[in-house]
Amino acid sequence: MDWNSKVDEIKNLCYQCEFRKVVEAVDRSLVMDPGSDPFFKMQLYKSQALFEMHKVNDAKALLRHLTEHEEKQSDFYLYVMAKLHYSDKEWEKAIRLFRLLADKSESVREYFKAILGLTNSYFSIRKTSEIKRLLPELEELLDVVPLDQDLSFRLLKANVFYSVDNNIQKAKRIFQEVIRKSIPHQWNYFIIKSLFGLSSMYQETGRSESLEATLDLMHCYLNTDESVYLTYLVNERFKDNNFTLSSPLQFDHEFKRIAVQGKWIPLHDKPLIYNFLDVLHRKEGFVNKEQIAAQLWPDQQYKPRTHDPRIFDLARRIRALIEPYENQPVCLLSGRFGYKLASKDRNIEVNVNHSPAAPTQSAAHL
């Protein structure tokens, strides 16, 4: 087998946001002992896919496992450890390792990758002088690096123009350039990242029509079942603009149950939780706490000190039931206006053929 071609195939799947296929392809390939270099490259793409699927612990465990097979000062070991520190927001540790890796690199591509990681780390702590020093150095090497590194650099540069230099027009041109370069390869990952950057700029500058158009485009490209972490970022960033993404929720009113990602959760024995969700399901946008209290406790006058803690506790219990990822909700969103269901416009009411004897999906398996 041509393992370099296999690595390229897996890379394409990753940037096309086919993350499940990445994991499956890597697992199948490793059975055939591809050799050291392809093995590590494929495992890195698998870890990236797991991160994007929001399986963070699995992704980190894979990276740590990889370091056990490497000498502690090898280039691969340093790069993986730098990625781990970066993902844990341990910026100074990541910076030290990316610097060391850059000093040790024997090829232009490896040097570029190390300096790109270093610059991203500086960007995370807004160390402007270092960012400005390194960007021109990276730009000089663009002709000799792979397209994915080229696009990663351009995304970083666009974000620097926007958030450091406040130069919206230059940032916009670069985001658009990334989209144009990505479309022929169907690299939705870079397209979505660019649309997210554009949408953030339009949101902060009050350009509502441009924001709506860009969010609609992002809706077309983002598969919520695959890109779970990006879905969370989009929901959190734009929930106050009445734009959220999530897998559809299905409501079965007769048997008082809901389905999340196709898995049914019985709520007939949890009437307050079911009614809470039903209130959000039937209304548009955010529902404030007074409206929620009126539906859940109709015989009581709303009192913030009494009812707000109850509502908060119900929301916490609901998230424990239906959210796949702790502390990063993609189904039930909260904000200063109250609560709402993500992607309310995509919720589906269904009539199903009921079989009372049929087992229902336990929430513990979600």
Domain ranges of the chain: 3-196, 249-365
pLDDT, residue 198, reads 96
C-alpha 222, offset from chain centre: 10
> What six digits make up the tokens of 99?
């610097």
Helix axes 108-124 and 128-139, enclosed angle (nearest 10): 150
Task: Report the distance separating Cα 332 and Cα 315, nearest Å.
Answer: 8
Q: What is the pLDDT along the chain (366 residues), one digit of tens a residue?
A: 688 899 999 999 999 999 999 999 999 987 777 567 888 899 999 999 999 988 888 999 999 998 887 777 788 899 999 999 999 999 999 999 999 999 998 899 999 999 999 999 999 999 999 999 999 999 999 999 999 999 999 999 999 999 999 999 999 999 999 999 999 999 999 999 999 999 999 999 989 899 989 988 888 898 877 888 888 888 778 877 767 666 557 788 888 888 876 678 899 999 999 999 999 888 877 899 999 999 999 999 999 999 999 999 999 999 888 876 656 676 788 888 889 887 544 333 333 333 333 333 322 233
The pairs formed by 350-355 with CB atoms below 8 angstroms and a separation of 24 or more are 350/250, 350/251, 350/252, 352/252, 354/254, 354/255
45 - beta bridge partners? none
pLDDT, residue 324, reads 66
| Enclosing H/E stretch for 361 | none
pLDDT, residue 363, reads 28
Non-local CB neighbours of 166 within 8 Å, separated by 6+ positions: none
In the block, which residue shows the tokens 């898995």?
A: 263
Task: Report the distance separating Cα 30 and Cα 294, nearest Å.
Answer: 57
In this prediction the pTM is 0.73
| Enclosing H/E stretch for 341 | strand 338-341
pLDDT, residue 119, reads 97
> What six digits make up the tokens of 357?
């004897």
Decide: helix, strand or coil at residue 335.
strand
List the alpha helices (DSSP H) in the chain. 3-15, 19-30, 36-52, 56-67, 75-87, 91-104, 108-124, 128-139, 147-163, 168-182, 188-204, 208-221, 228-238, 271-282, 289-296, 304-322
Question: 3-196 — its CATH code?
Answer: 1.25.40.10
pLDDT, residue 242, reads 66
Burial of 297 (0-12, 13-18, 19+ CB in 10 A): middle
Task: Report the distance separating Cα 307 and Cα 243, nearest Å.
Answer: 27
Q: Does domain 249-365 have CATH number 3.40.50.2000?
A: no
